[in-house]
Structure 1
Amino acid sequence: MRIKPKSPREAIQPEVAPAPPQRSRHVRNPIVILINLLITIAVLGLLGAGCGLYFGKQAFEQAGPLEEDTTVIISSGAGLSGITDRLQAQNVIDDNIIDELLFNIGVRFYKNATKLQAGEYAFETGVSMEQVMDALVSGKAVVHQVTVPEGWSTAQILQRVRAHPVLVGEINDLPGEGDLLPETYTFTRGTSRQGIIDQMRDAQDKVLADAWSRRDQNLPIETPEDLVILASIVEKETAKADERPRIAGVFVNRLNQGMRLQSDPTILYGLYGGEAWLKDRSAIKQSELKKENAYNTYQIQGLPPGPIGNPGKASMEAVANPSRTKDLYFVADGTGGHFFSETYEQHQANVRKWRKIEKELRDREKQSGTTESN
């Protein structure tokens, strides 16, 4: 093909650009346009959701507005909205619509909306929404305690339980003497007084059943109830744990020989019942010693008709397996413990020791009182 050369004028003239390609009929289709729009919206939505999730998670985990440690009570059946209102009222969460929505969305995002538990919760300064949620889900509420000392009468225990400010309700099913186990019991706010008493009763039943199953088969007692009676006397005779088996051994020896137990605390219980231990009674009067009552082990043979208090686990175990000695007597030694003896003559000598110690203690008290008054 021959090429026609251009003239100089033609060579410097710009060439005409080719016409643009014709748009595809598919691009102009409304359905395609709609799909493209939806894809764009979806991408922008995902980007927005991602940003929202990122910043929302940061806000959910960051320190909250609480400026000092506080306790919040979440009532049963409050629901997520009610719980949020309570938390905002006590400044655990900022009192604004954004934080309210953030807490609600966060709890629902973690699928915990139905897992939040009622109770009393302690929150530290700056607690985050996430930490609040975790605490409410775990149910780790504030724990309260009621402590019952060993040997307390049922009247004393009932008085303490009724006076506890956190427990609720009345005690309708009253326990008998010796039915409750002295111990420290933990509970959360809202626990009923009857519930705590029932817990003490169940604990006593378990400890007694265990002690009875492992008892010395040669004991001069016939029933678990007898074990509780004797253990309640042992409990009142000594506060020293290492003496309990030996005190129990003395009483077992006396029962085996047909001797009276001659325990002073039984006199007081027989005269005043459980109220005997609600007052300070350091000494027994001669009139009280001689007054007839069914519990006075100076007057009756064998065990009294019932316990004189609620013995602890150690005293019940001491009675179930007492020390194997020939001791028949004991008397205070002035240190909180006792002198033990096998014969009446030895016992009388120990009594004289105690009388001397007792006199010295009284003299010291008088001397101390005189010094203080001067």
Structure 2
Amino acid sequence: MKKTALIIVLLVFAAAGFFGLRFYNTYYGNNVAKDGYVLIPHKASFQQVLDSVAPYVKDKEAFETVAKDKGLDRYFKPGRYHFEEGAGNTNLVNMIKAGNQTANSFRIGDFGDMYQMIGKVTKKTELDSLHFVNDLNEIAVERGYKNAEDLKKYFFIDTYNFYWTVSPREFFKKFDEQYHDFWTSERQNKEQQSGLTRDQIYALASIVYKESGGKKDEMKTIAGLYLNRYRKGMKLQSDPTVIYAINKQTNFKEPIKRVLYKHLTTPSPYNTYANAGIPPGPICVVDKSSVDAVLDAESNNYIFMCADPARFGYHKFTASAEEHAINAKAYQDWLNSKNIK
């Protein structure tokens, strides 16, 4: 009798251990087959969630069991979720229910226009580029602008983090706040002292950025040079503005490696060889340093600059037309020696 009771007790413990282990594995054991990101869009069905999860889990049925037990079939949040090896179904389900998605890294570069930028950005968002363009166009009109292209000055070159589910308005809000934080009372005072409008400052900053190649150590010198030309009533004659004018006409599909004489007459309000004064807007998204370079421009007498073939990416500056002609010829000879056309 005692022997029978002992066997029963052992069987009970064995069953408890078996089902306990099974319960643990189902709810808490590692069920991630491979590290990756699961995308769950707005208005997805529960079956779509299961289909999205399937490639990343070892046991699909176990995940579904826990998901239903925790109500994921009735409620979940859209997003980009990181399925990391070692995670159990409970953690995975709770992550999706709580909306604990992982942000994406976005690099805002020196895009020539907003539509270029939007095309890159939306590759990492749920919404397509047309949706972004339409919403940003609406924001622009609400602010008294013509379209999204007029919002370029609100953006700065840098790396930002956004969720995959970010809406266009949420996206713009971050840059709008950054823009207003940047324009401190100190910078506004410098703006007033410059005698330039803010649009002119951004337009010059974009020229400075392009001419400097983003190198901060020449920015203030270049800004001083272009302010000298502007205040003397000279045409700015900046090659990047010609390149921009051509790129706008070709929708940025024909890269220009070398500005030729035939390009200098390209009809465009941005072409500073064809038009006097500062362009009507920036030719690219700028960084903060280039705006500060215009606000704190170097006081110099330079009115000419030319790329220096001996220091790639840097320039030779002068106030002498004769010296500039020598510098320009040296650079043209270097381009020809490298067969750059």
Distance change >3 Å, CA 197–CA 59, structure 1 → 2: closer
- Is 1:231 matched up with 2:197? no
Equivalences for residues 58-207 of structure 1 within 5 A? 58=24, 62-74=28-40, 89=54, 92=57, 94=59, 117-133=77-93, 135-136=95-96, 139-161=99-121, 164=123, 166-169=125-128, 170=131, 171-172=133-134, 173=137, 174-177=147-150, 178-181=152-155, 182-192=157-167, 194-195=168-169, 198-199=172-173, 202=176, 205-206=179-180
Q: Measured at CA, do residues 208 and 308 of structure 1 come closer, stay the same or move farther in structure 2, by a change above 3 Å?
A: farther
Deviates more, 1:335-344 or 1:296-305: 296-305
Kindly indicate whether the alpha-carbon contact (under 8 Å) linking 1:231 and 1:319 is maintained by their aligned counterparts in 2: yes
What are structure 2's unaligned runs of at least 5 residues? 1-15, 138-146
Instruction: Say whether the 8 Å CA contact 2:41–2:126 is kept in structure 1.
Output: no
Q: SS at the partner of 1:260?
A: coil
Q: Quick one: which of 322, 337, 344 aligns to 2:314?
A: 337
Distance 1:73 1:276 in 2: 32
Structure 1 residues 92 and 236 mapped into 2: Cα distance closer, same or farther (>3 Å)?
same
Distance change (3 Å), C-alpha of 1:247 and 1:207: farther
- Residues 331-368 of structure 1 deviation map (CA, whole Å, 9 limit, x = unaligned): 00120111112332332332243234334434xx89xx
Aligned to 1:300: 275
CA spacing shift, 1:124–1:266, aligned 2, 3 Å: closer
Contact (CA 8 Å) 2:212, 2:218: kept in 1 or not? yes
Contact 1:68-1:125 within 8 A present in 2 as well: yes
Quote how far apart the aligned CAs of 1:101 are.
Answer: 6.0
Mapped to 2, the partners of 1:271 and 1:87 lie a distance apart of: 44
Asked whether the equivalents of residues 64 and 129 of structure 1 are also in contact (C-alpha less than 8 Å), the reply is yes
TM-score, normalised with respect to structure 1? 0.65
Q: In structure 2, what is the equivalent of residue 5 of structure 1? A: none
Deviation of 1:127 after TM superposition, in Å, equals 1.8
Using the TM superposition, name which of 87-96 and 63-72 deviates more: 87-96
Between structures 1 and 2, the one with greater helix share: 2
Cα gap change, 1:232/1:63 in structure 2, threshold over 3 Å: closer, same or farther?
same
Deviation at 1:121, TM superposition (A): 1.4
Q: CA deviation at 1:92?
A: 3.9
Q: 1:278 to 1:314 in 2, by over 3 A?
A: farther
CA gap 1:94/1:343 in 2 versus in 1, 3 angstroms: same
* Structure 2 letter corresponding to 1:175: A
Alpha-carbon distance, 1:159 to partner: 3.6
Superposed, which structure 2 residues align to 1:8-27 within 5 Å? none
- Kept in 2, the 8 Å contact 1:220–1:252? The answer is no
Partner SS, residue 330 of structure 1? strand
CA separation in 1, counterparts of 2:60 and 2:243? 61
Aligned-pair CA distance for 1:86: 6.4
Q: Percent identity?
A: 24
1:228-249 per-position Cα deviation (integer Å, ceiling 9, x unaligned):
1111221222212322222111
Taking structure 1 as reference, are residues 226 and 216 closer, same or farther at Cα in structure 2, changes over 3 Å only? closer
The alignment's C-alpha RMSD in Å is 4.1
Larger Rg: 1
Question: For the residues of structure 1 that align with 2:80 and 2:319, how far apart are their CA atoms?
Answer: 57
Structure-2-length-normalised TM-score: 0.70
The structure-2 alpha-carbon separation of the partners of 1:359 and 1:144, relative to structure 1 and needing over 3 Å to count, comes to same
Alpha-carbon distance change, 275 to 237 in structure 1, aligned in 2, over 3 angstroms: farther
Question: Quick check: 2:112–2:244 contact (8 Å CA) kept in 1?
Answer: no
Deviation at 1:63, TM superposition (A): 1.8
Please report how far the alpha carbon of residue 276 of structure 1 lies from its aligned counterpart in structure 2 after TM superposition: 6.2
Q: Identify the range of structure 1 (165-174 vs 57-66) with the bigger mean alpha-carbon deviation.
A: 57-66
Per the alignment, in what secondary structure is the counterpart of residue 345 of structure 1? helix
Are the counterparts in 2 of residues 248 and 323 from structure 1 also a CA contact under 8 Å?
yes
Q: Please, which runs of 5 or more residues in structure 1 have no aligned partner?
A: 1-50, 367-374
Residue deviations 1:85-117 (CA, integer Å, cap 9, x gap): 6698557484558x7666666x59xxx999964
Contact 1:208 1:316 in 2 (8 A): no
Count of equivalent residues: 305
